[in-house]
């Protein structure tokens, strides 16, 4: 996993190359909504893209993490099926349902049943490099979603220059990112972790949580401000020495939410001595997003080592899949 994280900026370079070679042809480029179906490491990119397009897309953007699809899916739906392995059973079921409802379908995968499905029905197919854990290929899948939206003229191509700048920044600051990640990982050792982010980066905080779950074998949860300060905040009323809190924000976030976060941190410090901050750095959404992803990926790698776990091992998921495969 460490080697895969080290190559994150290289992955982004390759992802841009793959995306630029993609061409999309359909009778109509007029869509009423966009649905992306994907789970786990294959689906988290859609959650992050969803927040990027929140104030850009003129039609609803829905992330589907289920066997079933929304009732509104039809011929005016752009339906993107994303499964790194190509064998995610929920995504296979969802894309087959979308086919029956005559949606416009694009498939993103490294192979498997989804690639075979795309070829059989002659759907546009973006093929990714294979034989890696899906969670280590976020750069590949996420960037392709942006190129599909660009090809259908749903978003402008400005993201390309933002990603290019992010790559330069990651390479320039790699040593400091690793150093900062190692410090935070040491602070989280042997702790459960609560992650609180500002609205607009929930997808990123979910990604961080998932990396702690899979790489570190750590129980963790997340919530978003301002919603968290309307409910979960009430649950904080006793000491939790085994719990660490990580708050995630950018200095340009909405001032009322930053004020809520400031008040929240003072409250939390009464109940745990482990309250830490991650400030997202960069001048654009994608600079900040990829900085955060890379930093927290390193946190998960270092923490897995400190806790004595193999970051690659996910035996419990393999166990579940083997039992699900039984008739």
Query: Regarding beta strands 220-225 and 61-64, do their DSSP bridges make them parallel or antiparallel, or are they unpaired?
Result: unpaired
* Nearby residues of 110 by Cβ (< 8 Å), 6 or more positions away: 84, 85, 86, 127, 128, 129, 130, 131, 137
**23 to 81, 115, 126, 270: CA distances (angstroms):** 16, 17, 9, 55
Q: Are 229 and 167 in contact (CB under 8 A)?
A: no
Enzyme catalytic residues:
214, 230, 321
- Closest alpha carbon to 197 in 189, 187, 208: 208
- Angle at CA of residue 164, ends 158 and 170, nearest 5°: 135
- Closest alpha carbon to 199 in 232, 222, 220: 222
- Closest alpha carbon to 291 in 3, 2, 12, 4: 12
Handedness of CA 169, 14, 211, 299 (dihedral sign): negative
Q: Show the tokens assigned to 309.
A: 């776990």
């Amino acid at each position: 996993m460490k080697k895969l994280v080290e190559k994150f900026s290289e992955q982004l370079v390759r992802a841009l190359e793959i995306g630029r070679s993609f061409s999309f042809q359909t009778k109509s480029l007029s869509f009423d909504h966009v649905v992306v179906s994907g789970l786990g490491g294959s689906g988290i990119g859609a959650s992050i893209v969803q927040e990027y397009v929140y104030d850009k897309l003129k039609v609803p953007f829905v992330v589907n993490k289920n066997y079933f699809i929304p009732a509104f899916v039809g011929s005016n739906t752009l339906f993107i099926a994303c499964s790194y392995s190509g064998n995610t059973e929920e995504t296979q079921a969802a894309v087959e349902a979308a086919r029956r409802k005559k949606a416009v379908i694009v498939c993103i995968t490294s192979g498997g049943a989804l690639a075979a499905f795309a070829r059989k029905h002659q759907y546009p197919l973006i093929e990714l490099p294979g034989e890696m854990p899906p969670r280590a290929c976020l750069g590949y899948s996420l960037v392709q979603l942006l190129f599909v939206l660009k090809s259908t003229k749903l978003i402008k191509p400005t993201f390309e220059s933002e990603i290019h700048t992010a790559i330069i920044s990651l390479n320039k600051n790699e040593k400091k990112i690793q150093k900062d990640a190692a410090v935070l990982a040491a602070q989280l050792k042997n702790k459960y972790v609560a992650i609180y982010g500002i609205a607009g980066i929930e997808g990123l905080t979910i990604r961080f949580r998932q990396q702690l779950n899979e790489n570190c074998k750590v129980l963790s949860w997340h919530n978003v401000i301002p919603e968290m300060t309307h409910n979960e905040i009430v649950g904080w009323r006793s000491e939790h020495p085994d719990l660490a809190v990580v708050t995630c924000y950018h200095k340009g976030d909405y001032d009322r939410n930053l004020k809520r976060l400031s008040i929240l941190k003072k409250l939390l410090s009464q109940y745990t001595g482990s309250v830490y901050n991650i400030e997202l750095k960069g001048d654009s959404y994608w600079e900040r997003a990829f900085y955060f992803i890379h930093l927290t990926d390193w946190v998960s790698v270092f923490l897995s080592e400190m806790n004595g776990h193999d970051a690659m091992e996910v035996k419990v998921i393999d166990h579940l899949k083997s039992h699900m495969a039984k008739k």
